[in-house]
Structure formats: structure tokens, C-alpha cells
Amino acid sequence: MIKKRFDQVNRLIKDRLAFEKIKKNTPENTPKAVLVSIKHHTVYHRFFYLLLKFYKLSGYNVYYPMDFATFRNIRNKEKYLSLIIREDNFLIVNKKYKPESYIEITDEMFSPDYFSSYFEKGNNTTGVYHVPMSFHPLMYHHGIWNYKVDLNKKRINSIFCYGNFDSQAYLDIKRTEFSVVPRTELLSYFESKPEFLAFAGKPDMLKKIEEGSLERKYAFAIKEHFELPMEDVRETLSHFNFYLCCPGVVMPLCHNVIEAMSVGTIPLIQKEYSDVMYPNLTDRVNSIIFDDLEHLNVILQDIFEMPELEIAELRRNVLQYFQDNLTPESVIEHLNNSIKNKEMVYLQAEHRSVKFLR
């Protein structure tokens, strides 16, 4: 009991010191400003961090006036949400710095009911804006999201995939309204193919890339074998023509597809997954889309026979889609236009967004 009380007092003191420190943050010399008047930040967790981070990366001063209680609530909650407090020189919380001119974002502008357009409105997105999926939050936090990558290197004509394939966690999506093939089943499907290859570790992967032995393979970097370092993700993706998009835990969307598209690696993606990306991906324009495993089997028979000119065109379109829709600057531009036009903005809330489907 005494230790628990001591820990509580110790945390309170640390929080107070951190609050006093953040109150000293001052605006940068820019006329661009966003005022955050959102109280239900915990609904969106990591996606709220990403929203504010995109404003910051787009050259905005982010004003978020708050009291100590709100500060503590954010600082000690979900780890990605707390980054808005823990990153240096991110927020301006002191009320005395509130600017005269700003864009204001409020609770009423946003909804976590992200998939209502797909399930209830025939995927009609007129008059709404879906804030798109993005890289893993830590890529932005650590400043590695825009590492320079050579996009003109000769690519390996293979399908690459990486990530976690935990057999328990990634079956949760089967208990939702989505009908995508879970990533564990996709792994089992590809494992049965003679072209399947799972890297034993990073040295093994690099060796095979360098020696050119990966042509026409289904190459997997499975987290259970080794974890691909985050700073190496985009560089690794840039070696391959195609990327197999596996759905997330409870919804099709996952950050991996955005990381792949950022380097022009062409998504091989199930239709329902592509349909909840906004704007929707288009088959043979900026993606290769399959309906189900039977259709995927047909696609795999000739995917490696695609002419290089067609692959190059697809790659250009993928990169253009990324530039137009997925960079921090393009997201904020679209978001601000939607706010100006008083459109509803759908912001991901992961599990909470999926719960609306029930």
C-alpha cells in the first residue's frame, strides 16, 4: 500500500514537471496554425496523434490549450496518443499563445464511424472525407518516414510481404462484418506454393536480394522468424515489384500497404480491402486486385509475365496516388478543404470503428 502511494505521488510530480516544461513551448515563425478543440481524443488513440502530427509536418503550429488534468489523461493513456505530449516542441498548450487566425478542429467535425460509407451507403463518399491510413506512428515519431529511397533501381519480379502472422490475434477479423481473407490464411495459402520463401533473418534476406535469387518468388519476412527493422522497411520494399497486402487485426486496413505504396511497390490486394481505402484503388491502374483465393490463384499464373512497361506504368500510378492522397501535406490539404466545406470527416478509431458495424 505504501509503495503504491509512493508511485502515485512520484508519477504526479513527474507529470507536473512535464506539464510545466510543455507550457514553455512557443510558436514557430509561421502563419499556419491549427487550434485543437477536441475533448474526445481518447476515442481515436494513435490516429489522433497522426492527425496532429500531419499538421505539424505540414508546417503548422499546433495549439492545444489544456489544463493539467487533460495533460495527465493524455500523457498516461495509450502510448501512441501520448506522443503528442512526449515529443519535444510538438504542442503549444499555453493559452496566452493562442493566435488570432487559425483553422479550428472540433469533436463535431469528426466521426469514428469510418466504415459506414462502405456498409451503409454503397461506398458513396460524396460530402465526406476519410482520413486515410498512414505509416506506423513510430515512423513519423522517429523521423524515418521520409528517408530517401532509390526508386529507380532494378526491381525483383517477385511478391514481397512482411509483418506479424500471430495465429491468434489475426483471426479476430473473422468475427467482424468484413469478409477479407485473414493474413494467417493468406500465409497458409502461399506456404503451399513451390515459389514460397520465408527469410531466416535480415542477413539471409539481404544475401538473397544481392545475389539475385528471388525472381518469381513469394518472399515473406515473418516477424515470428525475425523483425524487419522499421528504418529498413521502405528500402526493403523498394526492391520488389509487388507487395501482398494483408489485413489488420480487426479491419482490412493496415499501415504496411501505405509504406509499400510510398516507394512505388504495387499492392496485390483483395477487393474489399481496396474498397475501404479512399480514394478506392483501381485494378491494373494502381494495384492488382483479387476477389478471393480462387481469383488470386488465377492472377498468380501470369503476374510475373506482365510486360515491364505495364509494371512501370503501374508503379508511376502508385507513386502518384501516394503523393496525391497519403503524404502529410496532401492529407492536410484534403482535410482543410473538407472542413471549409463543412463535410463530415471520418477518422479511424480501429476497434471502436469496427464496433459501429455491430
Percent of the chain with pLDDT over 70: 98
Question: In degrees rounded to 5, what are phi and psi of residue 35?
Answer: -105, 120
pLDDT grade, residue 310 (50/70/90)?
very high
Cα separation of 76 and 5, whole Å?
A: 17
The model's confidence at residue 171, banded by pLDDT at 50, 70 and 90, is confident
Measured between its terminal Cα atoms, the distance across the chain in Å is 42
Query: Quick one: CA torsion of 35, 37, 42, 47, rounded to 10 degrees?
Result: -40
CA distance 270 to 295: 10
pLDDT > 90 in the chain, percent: 89
C-alpha separations of 248 from 41, 90, 116, 174, 209 in Å = 22, 29, 18, 11, 27
Domains detected in the chain? 2-132+329-355 (no CATH), 140-325 (3.40.50.2000)
Mean pLDDT of 188-195: 97
Give the model's confidence band at 167: pLDDT under 50 very low, under 70 low, under 90 confident, else very high. Answer: confident
φ/ψ region of 45 (left if φ > 0, alpha if ψ in -120 to 50, else beta) reads left
- Say yes or no to pLDDT of 85 above 90: yes
Pair 258, 327: CB distance under 8 Å: no
| pLDDT confidence band for 180 (50 / 70 / 90) | very high
pLDDT value at 6 more than 70: no
Average of per-residue pLDDT values in the chain: 95
Which residues face 87 on adjacent strands? Answer: none
Q: Which ranges in the chain belong to alpha helices (H)?
A: 2-22, 46-57, 68-75, 83-86, 116-120, 137-141, 183-191, 202-211, 233-237, 255-261, 271-275, 293-300, 308-325, 328-340, 351-355
| Distance, CA of 317 to CA of 266 (rounded, Å) | 9
Query: What mean pLDDT is predicted for residues 185-194?
Result: 97
Q: Does residue 5 have a pLDDT over 80?
A: no
**Using CA of residue 152, residue 147, residue 131, residue 169, what is the dihedral sign?**
positive
Res 357: pLDDT: 79
pLDDT for 8: 78
pLDDT at 257 over 90: yes
Q: Residue 284 and residue 122: Cα distance in Å, rounded? A: 22
